[in-house]
Structure 1
Amino acid sequence: MRTIGTVVGVGALCLVLAACSPGGPMNATPSSPSPRPSFQTTTPGPVGPSGSATEVPSARWAAIRADLTARGVTEEPELVSAERLTFNDGSLGCPSPGQSYTQARVEGMRVVVRAAGDTYDYRFGDGDAPRLCTR
């Protein structure tokens, strides 16, 4: 009985090793080319911002101007960058210590402006209320 189990075990081991060997079935050359494009492991060209550049909707621009005015900034803000992003959670990529956030992806926008010599990083979720990221 012991020899039958040994023979079965050795046979199974041989099958596993044959499948994993360089000439095994997983590495066989296909008879016809694959219709799928080859996998690229490098990014073509330089890597830029994670979102796509976009224009700032007028309601969001007005909200930024109102927030800056409330902070005592009277100079007209200059747009530095604006991009649509998918944030990993409700913190919109700018968490505050001790604060809890929804743990769901949030479609939003990041708008960076410059006014009175300072740079301001605003984040928007699904609404038009800006959140100033101060970190």
Structure 2
Amino acid sequence: MRVGMCALALILVAGLLTACAPAPKATPTPSPAPSPTPLERATEEGMATPSVPTGLTARERAAVDLCIAALAGQLAIPAKEIQVLEVEAVEWPDASLGCPQPGMMYAQVITPGYRVRLRAGEATYTLHTDGKRAVSCTAPTP
């Protein structure tokens, strides 16, 4: 009888220790990201015009338009001289859109947006956007 009680107590203690142990941390599984959408350059009578993306949602199209306008303003060139190379949906880890500036604080929330690659002249630019603003955090690549 005494052996049975000890075995029962041992099982009970083991069960309590298992139940009180912290849950193992799950490693986040990356959600399958949509592949970048390559876009073709539209031309009209031999004159370069901004690419007109096809098959994009209204939000994606608005993000592309915002990035083109931002880059055109930054470079002081007409928007029609900018070519869209690709559009990729991303989730930025915070409100900095992947481009934190020193001394700035950003909301620590996952921010859905887009990475848009553009070409102006011979240089390629990558802009990040959340649909409300567009930022360029890298130097142009040749």
Identify the TM-score tier after normalising by the shorter chain. Answer: 0.5 to 0.7
Decide whether the 8 Å contact of 2:63 with 2:131 is kept in 1.
no
Aligned residue for 1:85, secondary structure, equals strand
Structure 1: distance between partners of 2:66 and 2:128? 11
Structure with max Cα Rg: 1
Matched, 1:130 2:134: yes
- Structure 2: where are the runs of 5+ without partners? 15-31, 38-55
Percent sequence identity over aligned pairs:
28
Alignment-derived partner of residue 70 in structure 2: 67
Query: How many aligned positions are there?
Result: 96
Encode CA deviations 1:63-112: one digit per residue, 9 max, x unaligned: 22322322223462222221111111111112112211100111111111
- Residues 72 and 126 from structure 1, CA distance in 2 versus in 1: closer, same or farther, beyond 3 angstroms? closer
Indicate which of 51, 66, 73 corresponds to 2:33. Answer: 51
Decide whether the 8 Å contact of 1:88 with 1:103 is kept in 2.
yes
The residue type equivalent to 2:130 in the other structure is: G
Decide whether the 8 Å contact of 1:123 with 1:131 is kept in 2.
yes
Decide whether the 8 Å contact of 1:120 with 1:133 is kept in 2.
no
Structure 2: distance between partners of 1:123 and 1:78? 16
Decide whether the 8 Å contact of 1:88 with 1:106 is kept in 2.
yes
TM-score, scaled to structure 1 = 0.54
Structure 1: distance between partners of 2:84 and 2:68? 11
- Structure 1: where are the runs of 5+ without partners? 17-49
Q: Aligned-pair distance for 1:62?
A: 2.8
The residue type equivalent to 2:99 in the other structure is: C
Matched, 1:96 2:101: yes
TM-score, scaled to structure 2 = 0.52
